[in-house]
Structure 1
């Protein structure tokens, strides 16, 4: 396991830190505490962190344009005004099923937004992976327990995801112009050993960086499924990475203390914090989500 330079981003601990995103235009990182209904905003140049309280449980966001975002929440997709935080429902998301909530999500290079849902108690097979394409939600894969590691190859021709309890990282061919699958998912890597596969992001060279929940690390996989690096994270339950910084040279990694009792938290003193790692590689900007055909 490699140990690279690492810093703590702010002092806030997350019950369930997830869904980090980065906007290069404003040099701002965002992430969520899903269970506590909080959205964090960090201006990386100044190091300050602002906490936004949300009326809904949310898990991910993507930029629509400079002034607005699309927030992925337990009951729907919401337009969010960046300056004022005002939320406007754009589209319901399994709103007729109170047993589920949103989880992992990421935007394909075409602007199509892949979004995962799961049971609130991680009930087996309760979740689904959807794709928001052309303003319409398409149901891609159902009977998913915990959808995670949604990310895409730089050329947009391959999507990756996992159903975390299986510890299988999948790949599937997708149409680069639409972000929709054109093949069937196949196992890229079967993880054996400590921890479980969680959130992921792809760097500029196509390596897949996947947080390993319960193992205090982030792993890097090649597009053919070989694990080539493992970076130590200072918290046991590392949850999701994203590349940040003007040159996309740092890896922001969220963490969580969900399910940890007092003794476990004491044994993991940096539980729930958010970290900045220097991996020595570069990421790439996250695409903006397209809400229609225009």
Structure 2
């Protein structure tokens, strides 16, 4: 059952939620965060900055040292940890394996699309160690984006019909998956075959209200944002970052809004759960393409933030080659 989002962009809800900035130097567009439980580090990507980032976190939300960066030759859309060490990285031209931070990359699968018009975007691993990455069709005038899955047999096209693939997440038992199309303001749900990973039974999970044609930041027209990256908590609730909506939504397993949390900056991009108890919620954010007026009001746009939550999230899944 889906519900429409009608709250305006300037809503201030749940003031009891307190955010802490864990970075001070903003990225252009940070995305794909995950908590590494063995390293006690938060990892993420800066897409226009063409770099990966990581930061040691002590306790629950205390950053230790400075952010480490790993430059990339092209835009990284998403990353995931690898069982036994290293990272799997989806760049514009393909999916790569990096066995050591800052070291060489090994091509696992070339991009199966026109890289002048498309790139990999949101993605992560499922509980079986398969790596999933969706694509973004950059002209944004057709729903040509796809969702791909990489396993030991190679790269497979699994789902299509989106313009900007985002918000991939699985239910705690792995039997349902969620996937959003940011441009369509829509999150879809699917049944999942655990053995193959195949999706079936597509249905509407949640429909956000479309962006008004003349809307711009600071205008009086109500706009609550569109679905970007997402994470799943232990109760099977789907946390969706609402880009330009300055909020996170916690959606029930039936797609109803349970909680709305205001974010420190207008463009949250993706949440993830971390910390020793998985009760720290991290969010990445964006400053790319924002107006000078907005950045004056929100100078921390592009930073990474954290807050404590009552319900723990699901931990990251590792890629198993």
Q: Same fold (TM over 0.5)?
A: yes
Q: Which residue of 2 aligns with 1:62?
A: 80
| Counterpart check, 1:201 vs 2:205 | no
Q: Which residue of 2 aligns with 1:169?
A: 187
Question: What displacement does 1:66 show?
Answer: 3.4
Q: Which residue of 2 aligns with 1:249?
A: 279
The 1:115/1:83 distance shift into structure 2, 3 A limit, reads closer
C-alpha separation between the residues in 1 aligned to 2:153 and 2:80?
14
Question: What displacement does 1:128 show?
Answer: 1.1
Question: What displacement does 1:84 show?
Answer: 4.0
Question: What displacement does 1:259 show?
Answer: 1.7
From 167, 185, 206, give the equivalent of 1:189. 206
Question: What displacement does 1:143 show?
Answer: 3.4
Q: Which residue of 2 aligns with 1:117?
A: 135
Tell me the SS of whatever aligns to 2:183: helix
Instruction: Report 1:100-179 matches (<5 A).
Output: 100-179=118-197
C-alpha separation between the residues in 1 aligned to 2:50 and 2:38?
26
Q: Which residue of 1 aligns with 2:243?
A: 213
Q: Which residue of 1 aligns with 2:50?
A: 37
Tell me the SS of whatever aligns to 1:65: coil
Structure 1 window deviating more from structure 2 (104-113 vs 166-175): it is: 104-113
Question: What displacement does 1:121 show?
Answer: 4.2
Question: What displacement does 1:96 show?
Answer: 4.6
Tell me the SS of whatever aligns to 2:295: helix
Tell me the SS of whatever aligns to 1:185: strand
Structure number with greater CO (CA < 8 Å, separation at least 6) is: 2
Q: Does the CA-based 8 Å contact 1:249-1:280 persist in structure 2?
A: yes
Q: Which residue of 2 aligns with 1:8?
A: 21
Q: Does the CA-based 8 Å contact 1:155-1:176 persist in structure 2?
A: no
The 1:99/1:218 distance shift into structure 2, 3 A limit, reads same
Question: What displacement does 1:12 show?
Answer: 2.1
The structure that has the greater radius of gyration is: 2
- Computed over aligned residues only, the root mean square deviation of the Cα atoms, in angstroms, reads 1.6
Q: TM-score, normalised by structure 1?
A: 0.93
C-alpha separation between the residues in 2 aligned to 1:258 and 1:112?
31
The 1:195/1:96 distance shift into structure 2, 3 A limit, reads closer
Question: What displacement does 1:196 show?
Answer: 0.6
Question: What displacement does 1:142 show?
Answer: 2.5
Q: Which residue of 2 aligns with 1:51?
A: 69
Question: What displacement does 1:86 show?
Answer: 2.3
Tell me the SS of whatever aligns to 2:296: helix
Question: What displacement does 1:218 show?
Answer: 0.9
Structure 1 window deviating more from structure 2 (129-138 vs 248-257): it is: 129-138
C-alpha separation between the residues in 2 aligned to 1:122 and 1:171?
22
Question: What displacement does 1:250 show?
Answer: 0.5
Unaligned stretches of 5+ residues in structure 1: none
Q: TM-score, normalised by structure 2?
A: 0.86
Aligned length: 290
Q: Does the CA-based 8 Å contact 1:112-1:178 persist in structure 2?
A: no
Q: Does the CA-based 8 Å contact 1:9-1:47 persist in structure 2?
A: no
Unaligned stretches of 5+ residues in structure 2: 1-12, 210-222
Question: What displacement does 1:32 show?
Answer: 0.9
